[in-house]
Structures are given as structure tokens and as C-alpha cells.
Structure 1
């Protein structure tokens, strides 16, 4: 079975990293097509032996990308096209139809109540999404929360399958040597208390709350892993509250495990999430987690993630101060990490591909 994964870009974001760690566990012969910039994740995928095809899309209205994608699909005769992220779903599903690909699947990684991947949910954005959805066969929601949002948008429930994101626990396990090397590279003392934030530096992530909390945490360091449009504003905020020397911006990092190993707590104050992959990765690394919204934790049975606690903005600084005063050290990975094992995700996706190709009865889907 030949599968082409189509994704908008391959910077070090959650959906991009999710695809990177999923690919080695799929038994199908997989390749990747990236519409825009390759980014750090593309190199990591290629090092693992998966070909990456750069489509060279220039802007949201570069319709020539559809033709290039369709030619690629016809040339390599893929049996399944699996799209990820808004632009790739719109262009990839159309190209797959033009190329007569037998099975067309999309994964919805990031849809909110009022936005999708940072775009405001205007009528044209929603209409284009729903029109392109009709060109595919099924949409995979990464959480029940996402499935509910898709249904409210107008996607029929019969065309939605919930398959949660997966995490390779071994790929994110705590490593003391990585911690030491990462801290040396970043200039962070070994005994410093490090608060971490992982994700795109965009308004919805609310990393400004972490910077403001730093003003009350005299001996802590804040490590922000990611890039985005808010970086200049966040840097200015750090200067204005007098903590610029203790806030480190690493930019995109393909080695999230090293960054997590360097941290003592992960803080995820995002007001809205589709899943919360960074939270599960942090739990796999043995970190305590303070979050505001995280379907990955909230959709599980109580007690599945004892190291993760929901904390509102009004309590965030106090909770971080309490952890800084008595660092809990590394925690054992909780049951949540096992429940989100990437191998389980890969098995379910492959069963879905086979069912769409007519090789597996619906009732046998795992």
C-alpha cells in the first residue's frame, strides 16, 4: 500500500512533529508532499528514510500547486492520500480527486470555536473547507472535542472518525545527559528551575502569561520552544517587566526531547486546544504539567494523568512559585502516555486505509 501524506509546511509545529513520529510506525510505504517551506521537520523525516516532495506553493492562491500535486500522485500511483492542515486539505483533496486516488483521508489537527490554525472562521474560510471536505472520503478528528467542532461546522458525523494523536514514549523519555547538554548549550545553570512552554508563538497560546509570571519568580528561567508572529511582542514584554535575561527563545527545535529534558515543569496556558500534544509529550518525559485547556487529558478517565493539573490564569503564577519552591523531580510516565501510544494510532490509521480500499470490512476496523 502506497500512501502520500500532504501537509502545508514542515516547520516544528505540533501537527508536523506528529506526522514525523507517526511515519516510522506505519507499515505502508509512505511519502510526504509539503506545499510550502520544508523546515526542520522535513530533514528529520528524510533522515528516517521517507522521501519528501517539495511542491513549492507560493501563497494561498497559487492554484498551480494543485496541478503539481496531481501530477505527483499520478506518477507514483498512490493508493491513499492523507492530508494534514487546512491548506493541504483544500488543495490536496482536490488534487487527489483529479488524480483518481482511490482513498482520500484528512486529519483535522487544529480547529477552534472561532478559528482554524490561526485563521478567523469567516464564512469564505468555512465554505471552502466544507466544499473540499466533500472531495475526500473521511476526516480523522484527533479528539472528541475536534469531532464535535467539525460536526457543528456541518461535516456529517458519518464522515468523521476519532483517532487520537499518538506519542512514542521512548522518543520523549527523560534523558539526564540530554538535559545537561541542552542546559549547557542554552547557558542555563544545572540547578536553575526551568519553566517550559512549547508551541507556536501565537496569541491563543498565551505565553505572555508565563512572562508576566516570571516577574514574581526571581530565580526561575523560562524556556519558550517555538516560533511565531508574537515573538517580537513577547520579547518586548519580557524587557518591560524586567525578565528579558531569564526568558530564552529557542525558535523551532527538531529535538523536543532535549528541550523537555532541560525543563522542570511544562506550562500550557492556551485558552483553546484541539488536542494538546505538547502536554502528552511532557508527561512522557516525566514533567509535571500545568494547563488551562487540554482535550488530551480531559477526554481520558479520571486519574489517567496525575501529573497534569488544570490551572486558570489567576492561579498560574502562584502554582509555578509553589513548584519552584519544592520541585517534584521527574515523575513516572502516567497511564495517559500508554493510552496515546503512537503504535495504536498507526494501527487504527492503517485499518482505516484498508477499509477505504475495500480490503477490510468496516466492523473489523481497530
Structure 2
């Protein structure tokens, strides 16, 4: 199968990370996989390292006279069976043609941007309900969850970030953005005073979050690591994965915690609440509740056997439903089903 994925996102984030993972996973599964992205040297390098040569285009909002024409040329040259667009702009400007035209949604985008698509793939059941309530036909929307790529790497030495070996270590990954509620996690650190915290991510709130840590007297236990591509090394060093998002449609970090074998404490935003079985494979706490988050972290530190129990159940969930192989099989099976329906429709029309 010849599959072209088109991503107009520019900044680092969960959707962009999963885009790279899926493009490379489809190639690894034996399909001819190509990628078109908004110009982004780091993302292009990751895709290239996986054996796929990306096409980088501007995807500007205004006065962009090159992107759509370049997409048309790429599609004409590649002759894909499937074109899957990510983000609103890529979906709105992608041409139609003799191929299956899909869009993958990981957020609450306006449905008007996807009118040229034959089918929508949503990474949560709640997103399927959202697009249907917005007027999209239910028969043309499918739920396919993300997967997480679990890699091996030497454990990051805690001394790298001036962290004691004997202190409980929390790891939080995500954009420094209001939706990620890292302010709540920093406030929790002022209540539960034993852990150190590594935050992997970049974003508009960095200065504000650094100031909050100083204001609360916890700056000596918080490390801002910047955007990271070495999750395996970071998870190896951590004791607990903290995921405090107040808005989170899916939550790849949940899968990372399960796959890397770390107990998870997460706020009950949409994605984590849908994925996590509370007190079985993770602990869920109310959104925007620093005392509850601190209490959950304290339980994992103090309650005998809890961390091991959460890790074992999380790994079982991961192996059953969220491996690369399982998720790619679901994607390919959907592509094949929709291509058969498309061909049958053409025969009836003919």
C-alpha cells in the first residue's frame, strides 16, 4: 500500500510526535510511506533517520502560493492509495483525486476544514462523538487509538540535572502550555515536599512556571529540561510519571508510562479518564487539584506494593492494545476496508 501522510503542524507536541511514529511504523510494516510536513529541521531529521525522505513545505496561513501546488505535484508523482492529512490547514488545502482521502484528528478542530475528506480517524471515542454531534456522519468516523514506541537507552544519570539519587523523581512531559497544567504540578510539589521534578518540554509558559517555582520555594527541586527526544533515558531515571493536564483529548504520556514501566498519577481530563482504570493501572485525581495530585504522588511513594501493582497492570494494558504492531494493524485494516468500499462504489457508479 502506498500511504502519504501530510502534517501542517510546526511546533513540537503530541500530535507531531505521533505523526513521525506512524509514518515510520507504516514503513516498518512494509508499506511505501511518505511524509509532507511544515518546514521543521528536527522533525525532518527524525523522519529521514527512519528511512523516509520528507517533503518540507511552508503551509503558511496567508499568501502561500506554493504549498498546494507542491502537494499536487507530490501526489501526482507518488500515486498514493491513501492520503491522510493531519491538522486543519493540511486537510483544507489537500487536493482530492483517485485515492482514499482521510484525516486524522487528535483535537477539537472545526469540521468545516475536513469537508473534502471521505473519512475521519479520531484517537478517542469522545472525539468520534464530537464530530458526529458537529454534523459528521457516524459511518464515516472511526476510533483508532495511538501507540507509543518504547525504545531502549541507557538511563539518564540524575547528576546530569543535579538530582539526588535517593530522592523520589517525578517526570512530566509536555508543552509548557496552560492546557498541560504544569502549574498545578509545581503547586503539588509545594505540598508533597519529597520529590524532585523533571519537566521535558518547551512553550510559552516557561518564564511563568519558573517564576511560580521560585515563588513557592520549590525551584531547587524542579528542572526544566527543554524539548526532549530521549524519553527512554528519562523514564529510566524517573520513579513516577506525573500527568496533570487540564485539557487532554488523548494523552500519549499515559502509554509512555505504561510502556516504560512507571507508575502513573494523572488528572482526569478526557483522554486519561478514558484510558486509565483508576487505582488499577494508574491513579486519577481531579483536574486543577494540587492537593489531590500531591496526595496521589504521596500514595505511590508510601503505599507498599502500589507502584508495582500499577506498573504490572499498565504493562498488561499496553501489550494488549497499544503496541506499534497492534495499532498499525488497525490502521491498515481500516485503510483496506475503506479502499474496498471505494472501489465497490466506483463499480456501481460505472
1:319 matched to which residue of 2? 296
1:178 matched to which residue of 2? 154
Gap runs ≥5 in structure 1:
117-125
**2:72 equivalent to 1:75:** no
Gap runs ≥5 in structure 2:
345-350
1:28 aligns with one of 27, 31, 46: 31
2:235 aligns with one of 257, 260, 285: 260
Please give the per-residue CA displacement for 1:47-82, whole angstroms capped at 9, x wherever unaligned.
110111111234466353222222222222222211
Given the superposition, is the C-alpha separation of residues 354 and 19 from structure 1 closer, same or farther in structure 2, using an over 3 Å criterion? same
2:139 aligns with one of 158, 181, 187: 158
Q: For residues 190-201 of structure 1, what are the structure 2 equivalents within 5 Å?
A: 190-201=165-176
SS of the residue corresponding to residue 200 of structure 1 reads coil
Count of aligned pairs: 333
CA distance, structure 1, for counterparts of residue 280 and residue 10 of structure 2: 32
Moved more, 281-290 or 56-65: 56-65
SS of the residue corresponding to residue 128 of structure 2 reads helix
CA distance, structure 2, for counterparts of residue 101 and residue 239 of structure 1: 58
CA distance, structure 2, for counterparts of residue 257 and residue 35 of structure 1: 27
**2:224 equivalent to 1:249:** yes
CA distance, structure 2, for counterparts of residue 251 and residue 62 of structure 1: 31
Given the superposition, is the C-alpha separation of residues 208 and 35 from structure 1 closer, same or farther in structure 2, using an over 3 Å criterion? same
CA distance, structure 1, for counterparts of residue 181 and residue 246 of structure 2: 7
8 Å Cα contact 2:276/2:284 also seen in 1: no
2:280 matched to which residue of 1? 306
Normalised to the residue count of structure 1, the TM-score between the two structures is 0.82
CA distance, structure 2, for counterparts of residue 152 and residue 134 of structure 1: 15
**2:36 equivalent to 1:37:** no
Given the superposition, is the C-alpha separation of residues 235 and 301 from structure 1 closer, same or farther in structure 2, using an over 3 Å criterion? closer
Given the superposition, is the C-alpha separation of residues 242 and 62 from structure 1 closer, same or farther in structure 2, using an over 3 Å criterion? farther
CA distance, structure 1, for counterparts of residue 33 and residue 169 of structure 2: 38
1:52 matched to which residue of 2? 54
Higher normalized contact order (CA 8 Å, seq sep 6+, divided by chain length): 1
CA distance, structure 1, for counterparts of residue 260 and residue 330 of structure 2: 25
2:259 matched to which residue of 1? 284
Q: For residues 120-135 of structure 1, what are the structure 2 equivalents within 5 Å?
A: 126=110, 129-130=111-112, 132-135=113-116
8 Å Cα contact 1:3/1:28 also seen in 2: yes
CA distance, structure 1, for counterparts of residue 50 and residue 280 of structure 2: 34
1:149 matched to which residue of 2? 130
The RMSD of aligned alpha carbons is: 2.6
**2:73 equivalent to 1:96:** no
CA distance, structure 1, for counterparts of residue 280 and residue 90 of structure 2: 36
**2:346 equivalent to 1:358:** no
Given the superposition, is the C-alpha separation of residues 148 and 67 from structure 1 closer, same or farther in structure 2, using an over 3 Å criterion? same
